[in-house]
Amino acid sequence: MKIFCLSIYNENYKLFKELNLIPVGLGNQNFGDEWLNDKGTFNISKKNINFGEYTFHYNLWKNKFNNEKYDDWIGFCSYRRFWIKNDTLKPKNILELKKSIIQKPDDSWNDNEVILVEPLIFNKIKNIKLVKRSFFEVLKKPSVLYKKTSIKDQFNIFHGSYFLKNAISFLNKSDQLEFSKFLDGYEYNPYNMFICKNSDILIKFYDEIFPWLFKCEDLFKNKNLIGYDKIRIYGFLAERYMPYWFRKNFKTLNWPISFFDTHKINF
């Protein structure tokens, strides 16, 4: 099993290796030669500010797995979110993290093809927060003031309905309908974290997600993508589409993760 640990900070390489993770450096910081990164022969590393972790995924797609197959579980975590064993408590310190992090595929994975993070479940967002985030989106759909917030509502309020509406239009007709129905629901598997049973499954996902994101980029490239909610718009779009696509095409299993920010730990 390979789990890549993505980090925007050039520290904790030793820790990630001790956790049996493969350290990957993203962004503008200088990473040593021992780190993997998103700067392969064919790369979009300069777009990291907008694509987030998908600049590394692009590197795997265009460079590594074009020439190499991997017939075992392969997945992704980050410097602050980790896959943990199913029967452990959320770690509170480094020692507990080392004991709780998953080191090998669980037996329950055998009959599944993709492992996804346990879903986020949306409920009602406080009205004051709704209005502060996007008053105009609330005007478009005032029912969010008294009803539960769907995946689509949440995205539109936090990131803008223009982006999601146009992104959906680039999908084929079947996916337009089915993805829209998925977005009308109230839960999805977040954080762009997943584990695939082999590289063939991963490549199929890349073959789907990147042409779609690049079509979106071509339309959105002249938009003023500033602020946290807009600047990483392609990562946010992929975060919603990823669980829909995997759940549609493969047998998936939800699995626990733990938030543990290794960047804030002093050694």
| Helix, strand, coil in percent for the chain, rounding step 5 | 50, 15, 35
Q: Is residue 231 part of a domain?
A: no
Euclidean distance between CA atoms 238 and 235, whole angstroms: 5
pLDDT attached to residue 141: 60
| 58 domain residue, yes or no | yes
Q: Which tens digit of pLDDT belongs to each residue from 7-16?
A: 999 989 999 9
Strands 2-7 and 74-78: parallel
Does residue 241 fall inside a structural domain?
no
- From the list 34, 51, 10, 15, the residue with the least C-alpha distance to 260 is 15
Q: Which helix (H) or strand (E) holds 33?
A: none
CA gap 166, 169 in Å, rounded: 5
Of 234, 249, 133, nearest in space to 196 by CA:
249
Query: Could you give the residue ranges of the DSSP H alpha helices within 170-222?
Result: 173-183, 199-220
User: Is pLDDT at 144 greater than 90 in this prediction?
Assistant: no
pLDDT digits (tens, 9 = 90+) for 167-182: 999 999 999 999 999 9
Please tell me the total count of domains within the chain. Answer: 1
Both structure tokens of 213: 């994101």
Could you tell me what percent of the chain has a pLDDT over 70? 89
| Residue 60: Cβ-neighbour burial (10 angstroms; 0-12, 13-18, 19+) | buried
47 is in which domain, residue-wise? 2-117+190-198+252-264
Cα–Cα distance for residue pair 31/48, rounded to 1 Å: 15
Tell the residue number behind the tokens 């075992």, with chain if given: 72
Q: What is the mean pLDDT of the chain?
A: 90
Has residue 75 got a pLDDT over 80? yes
pLDDT per residue over 205-259, tens digit each?
999 999 999 999 999 999 989 988 899 999 999 999 999 999 999 999 999 999 9
Domain annotation covers residue 166: no
How much is the pLDDT for 50? 96
Task: Look at residue 51 and tell me if it is in a domain.
Answer: yes
pTM of the model: 0.91
β pairing state of 74-78 and 187-188: unpaired
